[in-house]
Structure 1
Amino acid sequence: MSHGTLECYDMVRTRRFYEEFLGLECVRHGKPAMAVRLGMRFHIVCVEVGEQLKPVNMLNHWGVDVATREEVDRAHADALRLKDEYGIRQVGKPQDMHGVYSFYLVDLDHNWWEVQHYANGFLHDDYFDFGDRFAMADGRNFEREDELAIRVETA
């Protein structure tokens, strides 16, 4: 995979939030769009759509990893303190959930962000290295790679 897409009301205000608050690298590659990344080959294309923007729910969020729980707490305190300056609409409380310590915030464009720390050093590749952990629709588990391949081919 190479990229994902999100929308914004105003490119200038959004870029300021991404660079100054989230610490993301941004490059404007088209009049209505910029590319956004944080130290990896995958990037987000942010497209300015103005008032056509439709808010999304929390399930459609972007995760930002930090090195420690203290960094999560610091980012949370900053989000509360700088809420008005950056147009942050909502800031959730930090919590331990699904293997991470994190909090969610809603930015000026109604996009959700999760600032998170994996206490056990969880890496992105671990999702795939661990393999399937849940049963198929018929209740059986994926027990062999060839069974998984057959299931994917017939889907």
Structure 2
Amino acid sequence: MKPLIDLPFLSHGHATLRDVEESIRFYRNFLGLDVVKTSPRTLVARLGSNTAIVGVTLGEKGLAKANRPWLENAHFGFDLPTADEVKEARELALQHQDNFNILNIGDMFYGDEGLSFMLVDQDGNYWEILENPEGGYSHYFAKECDTKHALASFSDGVEDSRISVLKPRLMSHMTCEVINMDKSQAFYEEMFGLECVRLSAKRMLGRLNSVAVIDFIETDTEFREHKMHNHIGFDVAGPEIVDAARETIVGNQKRFGFEVIHKTSGSHGSYGFTFSDLDNNAWQIEDYPRGGYYWMFEQGGDLENKFQPNVGGVDDWHELVDPESYEYIGVMKCL
């Protein structure tokens, strides 16, 4: 069945920050992520694929206002191949806890996939380090998906030169809680076209032409407010498609129980909108090239101009994109 909105790729999840420089240090030097500072208050990070973490600084006051007891159920997960490596990672986390302002390091947990532990960073974000086979959760799905954009710029056999404390090999998932799994699955499949696999009555994996998955869990959380800052995002090819997607969301508001549908706006170098679903989870649909934030990692370092490429004579990222395919063309081809 064709979904109501044609979305090409699971693009990103959001994390909130107190101080962008300290978060960059934690992401890069502790977690071992590939990080680009995109403005004085924002960053993007990835590991193993182009599904990215977008970090936005709210500051001390902003974070204090956002009461988010559900945040553990909106964590990001990073894979290691063996239980021994997970154990070693936890020992390293304990050794470096003060240096990286880690608020809490949880106990070891034996789950269905193997050994794992959770840690809480200086910003209150949760990170799971877990034992998982190569390819993350891909083995749960019956067939392969199109990972052309998810793996653009990645190649096999590249030597790991990271000097970070931890060296996970993949960001395998981001977690999202729901109230009723059956209703939510119908929404994700019919609206977004997610490929979903039920692992149990209260747990489901969803992907969209991606290596990283969304790990959906059914919870009885009572307070589900302040989720807009932790939204999950998809990219489409142009402002007119953003507008059409919003019309579809508005047209199905009663059917799927959307609580809030924001107006379109331009921010962080893109044009898009956010909305909240029947579970009060927040989603973003924005105008960005195929592969999402991939092009930012092709600029040779942090962005010199906010959300724009480090290319002389190029003022906007749209100039690096083929207008027909919406593929990122590359710096050299634009000179």
TM-score (norm 2): 0.37
Write the deviation string for residues 78-127 of structure 1: whole angstroms up to 9, x where unpaired.
11111010011110111221111101000111111011112x66742233
Partner Cα separation in structure 1 for residue 197 and residue 226 of structure 2: 24
Match of 2:198 in 1: 28
Which amino acid in 1 is paired with 2:282? W
Write the deviation string for residues 46-104 of structure 1: whole angstroms up to 9, x where unpaired.
10013546334311000111122222111101111110100111101112211111010
| Among 260, 265, 288, the residue aligned to 1:95 | 265
The offset of 1:22, in angstroms, is 1.8
| Among 27, 37, 45, the residue aligned to 2:215 | 45
Match of 2:256 in 1: 86
Check whether the contact 2:235–2:290 (CA below 8 A) recurs between aligned residues.
no
The offset of 1:30, in angstroms, is 2.0
Give the aligned length.
Answer: 133
| Among 55, 62, 75, the residue aligned to 2:232 | 62
TM-score (norm 1): 0.77
Partner Cα separation in structure 2 for residue 114 and residue 27 of structure 1: 23
Partner Cα separation in structure 2 for residue 50 and residue 9 of structure 1: 7
The alignment status of 1:126 with 2:298, answered yes or no, reads: no
SS at match of 1:76: helix
The alignment status of 1:109 with 2:109, answered yes or no, reads: no
Match of 1:72 in 2: 242
Partner Cα separation in structure 1 for residue 244 and residue 263 of structure 2: 12
Q: Which has the higher contact order (CA 8 A, sep 6+)?
A: 2
* Higher helix proportion: 1
Which amino acid in 2 is paired with 1:95? S
SS at match of 1:47: strand
Unmatched tracts of structure 2, length 5 or more: 1-170, 305-335
Query: Which shifted more, 52-61 or 97-106?
Result: 52-61
Unmatched tracts of structure 1, length 5 or more: 135-155
Check whether the contact 1:55–1:109 (CA below 8 A) recurs between aligned residues.
no
Match of 1:149 in 2: none
Query: Residue 26 and residue 56 in structure 1: after superposition, are their counterparts in 2 closer, same or farther (change >3 A)?
Result: farther
Q: Aligned-residue CA RMSD in angstroms?
A: 1.9
Where does structure 1 differ by over 6 angstroms across 4 or more consecutive aligned residues? none
The offset of 1:23, in angstroms, is 1.9
SS at match of 1:59: helix
